[in-house]
Amino acid sequence: MRIFQANRSDAGLILKEARKILAPRLESPSRRAFLRNLTLGGVAMLSGCSPDDDVEHALSAISRFNDRVQGWLFDPNALAPTYSAEMITRPFPFNAFYSEDKAPAVREDDYALEVSGLVADKRRWRLGDLRAMAQVEQITRHICVEGWSAIGRWGGVRFSDFLDRVGADRSARYVGFKCADDYYTSIDMATALHSQTLLSLTYDGQVLPREYGFPMKLRMPTKLGYKNPKHIQAIFVTNRYPGGYWEDQGYNWFGGS
């Protein structure tokens, strides 16, 4: 126990340094949990409350405040810019919390989209049913939370059309998504109903390839990349905050642009 009697700020520095070194090396979903445990472990040994936790709480509270500010700033009629075909980024970058070869291979024959929560019609959807609906296409800029951006061409069903078709409660607060790669996220209803929000089934005129999210990706040019779920298996409408894979680790929930 003696070695842990170093003063508290030293301990804070040690933890901070350890986390700084470890964070970029841990790709897995356990990253944040591990780091939090590291802090709690340190706290237990120091038998007191950690100033690090206070800072983390304050930063999370401000992030939730920023969610509200963004919701308030969001103009449902403001459109993201669209681009010409020559401006498409080729090849369009693959990005996920795993490498490209680990992208899930969903089989169309077995696939049926699950719809649940505050909707009138909970029937499962086959891809053919979605392809039979009115299709739209747009070329927009995908902006990653890391800062880089790339222009791509997505086509599919306007998500507001889909929500109307399943009789979703438009006054509900959230739409949540569960994906075949164990990714999950959720968005605000205003963005779900935005005219550029697409349940995309194609990329660049082709059936959405596996690496870009087959069978479908929710494409929102008004949100950062991590808010755009791929390989969607289930969609649910709810008033209970569903969180998200990155959001639960500290990324801003609204994540809008």
Rule CB under 8 A: is residue 149 a binding residue for another protein?
Answer: yes
Rule CB under 8 A: is residue 147 a binding residue for another protein?
Answer: yes
**30, 219, 224 from 252: Cα distances, Å:** 18, 18, 10
**Which residues within the stretch 56-85 sit at the binding site for another protein (CB under 8 A)?**
58-60, 62-63, 66, 70, 73-75, 78-81
Rule CB under 8 A: is residue 144 a binding residue for another protein?
Answer: yes
Say which residues have a Cβ less than 8 Å from residue 64's Cβ, sequence separation at least 6.
253
> Which of 246, 136, 95 is closest to 184 using CA atoms?
246
Rule CB under 8 A: is residue 244 a binding residue for another protein?
Answer: no
Report in angstroms how near the CB of residue 69 gets to another protein at its nearest.
9
Which residues pair with residue 223 across a beta bridge? Answer: 256
Report in angstroms how near the CB of residue 18 gets to another protein at its nearest.
10
Q: Are 241 and 188 in contact (CB under 8 A)?
A: no
Q: Are 129 and 199 in contact (CB under 8 A)?
A: no
Rule CB under 8 A: is residue 221 a binding residue for another protein?
Answer: yes
State the CB neighbour count (10 A cutoff) for residue 27: 10
Rule CB under 8 A: is residue 202 a binding residue for another protein?
Answer: no
Q: Are 226 and 179 in contact (CB under 8 A)?
A: no
Which helix (DSSP H) or strand (DSSP E) does residue 163 occupy? helix 159-165
CA dist 179 and 104 (Å) reads 10
Rule CB under 8 A: is residue 145 a binding residue for another protein?
Answer: yes
Binding residue for another protein, selected from 113, 143, 198, 235, defined by CB under 8 A: 143
Instruction: Compare residues 214 and 253 and give the one whose CB is closer to another protein.
Output: 253
What number of chain residues touch another protein (CB under 8 A)? 37
Rule CB under 8 A: is residue 19 a binding residue for another protein?
Answer: yes
Binding residue for another protein, selected from 20, 90, 102, 107, defined by CB under 8 A: 20
Say which residues have a Cβ less than 8 Å from residue 202's Cβ, sequence separation at least 6.
137, 154, 155, 156, 208
CA dist 175 and 91 (Å) reads 31
Rule CB under 8 A: is residue 16 a binding residue for another protein?
Answer: yes
Instruction: Compare residues 32 and 170 and give the one whose CB is closer to another protein.
Output: 32
Instruction: Compare residues 238 and 257 and give the one whose CB is closer to another protein.
Output: 257
Q: Which residues bind another protein (CB under 8 A)?
A: 16, 19-20, 23-24, 32, 58-60, 62-63, 66, 70, 73-75, 78-81, 141, 143-149, 221-222, 246, 249-252, 256-257
